[in-house]
Amino acid sequence: MGTSPLALGGEWTIAQAAALHEQLRDALATGQLHWDLGAVTECDSAGVQLLLAARRSAQAQGAPLVIDPASPAVRSSLQRYGLDHLLTA
């Protein structure tokens, strides 16, 4: 558990937010805190917000959330919001 990163690809958008939310909650519940977002095709504000919420949950568990690798879509959205530090954390 936790050795290989959890791949969470596809669209990180408002349209998928509800389904993604479920998935992320499951990941946190099982302690999967290393996420592979290399295959994310799109990431809007809803996606960013999910990442921020996930980071908060992870902090509550006392463990850092690791996002590696991140697709250009994720990278550019986080940069846009001045949240690049989420990637290196």
Partner 1 sequence: MTALFNDDEDAEILAAAREGFMEEAVELLAQFEQALLTMEQDPADSEAVNSAFRAAHTIKGTAGIFGFDAVVKFTHEVESVLDATRSGDLSLNEAAIALLLASRDQMEHLLDDLGPGEPDPALAEHSATLGDQLRALRQAPGGATAVAPATPSAKAAADTVNELAVWHLSLRMGIDALRNGLDPMSFIRYLDTVGEVRGIRTVDELVPALEGLDPESCSLGFEIRLATGADRQAIEQVFEFLRDDCDLQILAPDAPSEAYEQLLTARCTDTASRDALLAHWQVLAGPNEKPFIERREEAEPDRRNNEPERRAGKTDRRAAGGEDTRFIRVRADKLDQLIDLIGELVIAGSGAQLVAQTEQSPRFAEAALRIHDLVQAARDGALGLRMVPIGETFSRFNRVVRDVSKQLGKEVELQITGGDTELDKSMVETIADPLMHLVRNSLDHGLETPEQRLSAGKSAQGHLALHAYHESGAVVIEVSDDGRGLNRDRIFAKAVERSLISADAQLADEEIYQLIFAPGFSTADQVTNLSGRGVGMDVVKRNIESLRGQIGIASQPGRGATMQIRLPLTLAIIDGFLTNVGGVSYVMPLELVAECLAVPPECVAQPDQVTGYFDLRGEVLPYLDLGRFYRHEPTIQAGRRSLVLVRDGQHRVGLVVDRLLGEHQTVIKPLGQVFQHIRGLAGSTILGSGEVALILDIPALLDQATRQTVPGHHAPATGLTR
Residues found near partner 1 in the complex (CB under 8 A): 14, 17-18, 20-21, 24-25, 28, 41, 44-46, 48-50, 52-54, 56-57, 60, 77, 80-83
CB of 4 to partner 1, least distance (A): 22
Cβ distance to partner 1 smaller for residue 2 or 80? 80
CB 27 within 8 A of CB 56: no
Cβ distance to partner 1 smaller for residue 21 or 34? 21
Cβ distance to partner 1 smaller for residue 50 or 67? 50
